[in-house]
Amino acid sequence: MSHHIVEVKQLRHVYPDSTVALAEVSFRIHHGESVAIIGANGAGKSTLLLHLNGYLAPTSGEIRIGDFPLTRQTLPEIRRTVGMVFQDPDDQLFMPTVFDDVAFGPLNLGFTQEQAGERVREVLAQVGAVHLLDKPPYHLSGGEKKRVAIATVLSMSPDILVMDEPTSGLDPFSRRQLIGLLRDFQHTRIFTSHDLDMVLELCERTIVLHQGAVRADGPTGEIFRDEALLAECRLEKPLSMQGCLLCGRKQ
Amino acid sequence: MRSIEGAVIEFKQLDLLANGNTALHRLDARAKVLATLFFILAVVSFDRYALAPLFPFFLYPVVLASAGNLPLRFIAARIGVVIPFAVLVGLFNPLFDRGILLQLGPFPISGGMVSFASIIVRAVLTVGAAVCLLGLTGFVAVCQALERLGAPRAFTVQLLFLYRYIFVLAEEASRVSRARTLRSFGRQGLGLASFGPLVGHLLVRTWLRAERIHMAMLARGFRGEFHTRQVSRFGGLELAYLLIWSALFLLLRFAAPGQWLGGFLLEFFP
């Protein structure tokens, strides 16, 4: 199905203070791909993500999600198709209880209370958080918040998952749990992250942004072996590719 | 001074109490909200010098607290937070209103002292009832009840958001204030000069967060309407609860059974 394709053509975004956040970005992401967008702070990652579900409008250029160009008319449909998980779960969990939060999307899509309730249980089971159903979000731990935030998006059955820094602020166990969870998804996945080891595990393809433009786009393994490229873009090899830290032996 | 963090923790405790499962907890929130509203109306509608007729009203918070398993010490502590404000309100009554109202043995009691005491008792009663209501119902259910009773949606939604993000804001504020304390070495830390930008920072952060929340809402198909779960219903039990309490409040308000009972006793046991 061509539904899950994300195509960005010569996207340019200039903020009102005339900062050029994205100079010219083009790429095409296919159905079922898992893609990382990496780059230094200020490279334009967040700005790019905010375009993908229409929160920011391009200064010039075009975005197509599936068969539709992103316009005011297609916005509601595109927001259902593209599930966006924010970096800070406190921004995403705004309802009084976990149940209400996960049901928020489905109810907005016109589900009945019963259908929504069913869906809520289903997706909470998927992320292993059914026991949190009636808890208010501020009583949850960081890892729990993250999983519930993902559930709030899954509940709308998106075709494309976009996640901003999914592993930031998680303890190693929660991070491992989350990576396991994300690996099992069949959706088209787009991540931004500074956690390059996670990128190595989850994404077969990596796009490197540098100063608002695509500097490299290719298989993750190849990109992480190109030390000159990484250094130029203020990045470095994932720890797991750096050889043994104790004895210094290269892999 | 109590720390911001401490206040947040206490607030969360109140919220956790509402997870109890007594008969009172299970009652539809609307019955409890209305009963408390009538209670407050009855208490504040007394004449400014009324003192004795107020005391029977303690029945309401005491019954709620004991039937709902709310720890009395906890409630007393919450009331204690508000009392200084009531004292401030009534502070000048004894100074301005010096007319002698009654004579207690050798001590003349002025009208101002009576009205001062009346203000304090009313504050204890109303705040106590409100804390009991929150402890039995939870803030969210109270808001939803208000909405189902006809309060404007914009108002209740604002309250819900306020409640949800007061925790986040308080945590942010306490982090900022901790950072300031750690670098001011026991002194005032530039006093007001640093306080202004600090509050400004918090405001800007709140603004940015509000934008992100709005984004999250739009991303999930928000079109200006809130759907929340409505499980409980207003049945016979709720009606009985409301009628019994309102009848009692009316009786205590207008029939002054305390005086009546006193007169009755004096007649038979002179």
How confident is the model at residue A35, as a pLDDT? 95
- A-chain CB neighbours of B217 within 8 Å are 94, 104
Q: How far apart are CA A236 and CA A229, in angstroms?
A: 9
Is the Cβ of A27 closer than 8 Å to some Cβ of chain B? no
Determine which of A46-55, B212-221, B255-264 has the lowest per-residue pLDDT on average.
B255-264
Burial class, A154, CB count within 10 angstroms (exposed 0-12 / middle 13-18 / buried 19+): buried
How confident is the model at residue A192, as a pLDDT? 93
Is the Cβ of A81 closer than 8 Å to some Cβ of chain B? no
CA distances from B216 to A122, B210, B251 (A): 21, 10, 51
Rounded mean pLDDT, B124-133: 93
Cβ pair B227:A103 closer than 8 A: yes
Cβ pair B217:A152 closer than 8 A: no
What is the β-pairing status of strands A20-29 and B100-104? unpaired
Confidence category of residue B216, pLDDT binned at 50, 70, 90: confident
Confidence category of residue B231, pLDDT binned at 50, 70, 90: low
- A-chain CB neighbours of B228 within 8 Å are 95-96, 100
**Highest-confidence segment of A109-118, A205-214, B164-173:** A205-214
How confident is the model at residue B234, as a pLDDT? 83
Confidence category of residue B203, pLDDT binned at 50, 70, 90: confident
Domain residue ranges in chain A:
2-241
- % pLDDT > 70, chain A: 97
- A-chain CB neighbours of B167 within 8 Å are 138
Point out the residue among B163, B167, B216 whose CB comes nearest to the CB of A91: B216
pLDDT (tens digit per residue) in B29-71 = 899 999 999 999 999 998 888 888 889 899 999 999 999 888 8
Closest A-chain CA to B208: A91
Closest of A212, A187, A200 to residue A5, by C-alpha: A187
- % pLDDT > 70, chain B: 87
Closest of A35, A37, A8 to residue A208, by C-alpha: A37
Q: How far apart are CA B164 and CA A245, in angstroms?
A: 44
Point out the residue among A90, A103, A139 whose CB comes nearest to the CB of B168: A90
Mutate to test the interface with B, among A91, A93, A132 (most CBs of B within 10 A): A91
Interface of B with A (CB under 8 A): 12, 15, 140, 160-161, 163-165, 167-168, 209, 212-213, 215-223, 225, 227-229
Residue B1 has pLDDT above 50, yes or no: no
Rounded mean pLDDT, B72-100: 86
Cβ pair B164:A84 closer than 8 A: no
pLDDT (tens digit per residue) in A140-163 = 888 899 999 999 999 988 999 999
Cβ pair B218:A109 closer than 8 A: no
- Triad A181, A183, A187: Cα angle to 5°: 100
Cβ pair A96:B225 closer than 8 A: no
Confidence category of residue A1, pLDDT binned at 50, 70, 90: very low
A–B CB contacts, 8 A cutoff, strictly below: 76
How confident is the model at residue A241, as a pLDDT? 85
Cβ pair A88:B167 closer than 8 A: no
Domain residue ranges in chain B:
1-151+233-260, 152-221
- Provide the shortest C-alpha distance from residue B157 to chain A (in Å): 10
- Provide the shortest C-alpha distance from residue A1 to chain B (in Å): 23
CATH 3.40.1080.10 corresponds to the domain A2-241: no
Confidence category of residue A250, pLDDT binned at 50, 70, 90: low
Give yes or no for a contact between B162 and B154, defined as CB atoms under 8 angstroms apart. no
Rounded mean pLDDT, A172-179: 90
Rounded mean pLDDT, A169-182: 90
Give A10-18's long-range contacts (Cβ < 8 A, gap of 24+): A10/A60, A10/A61, A10/A62, A11/A48, A11/A51, A11/A58, A11/A60, A11/A61, A11/A62, A11/A63, A12/A58, A12/A59, A12/A60, A12/A61, A13/A44, A13/A47, A13/A51, A13/A56, A13/A58, A13/A59, A14/A59
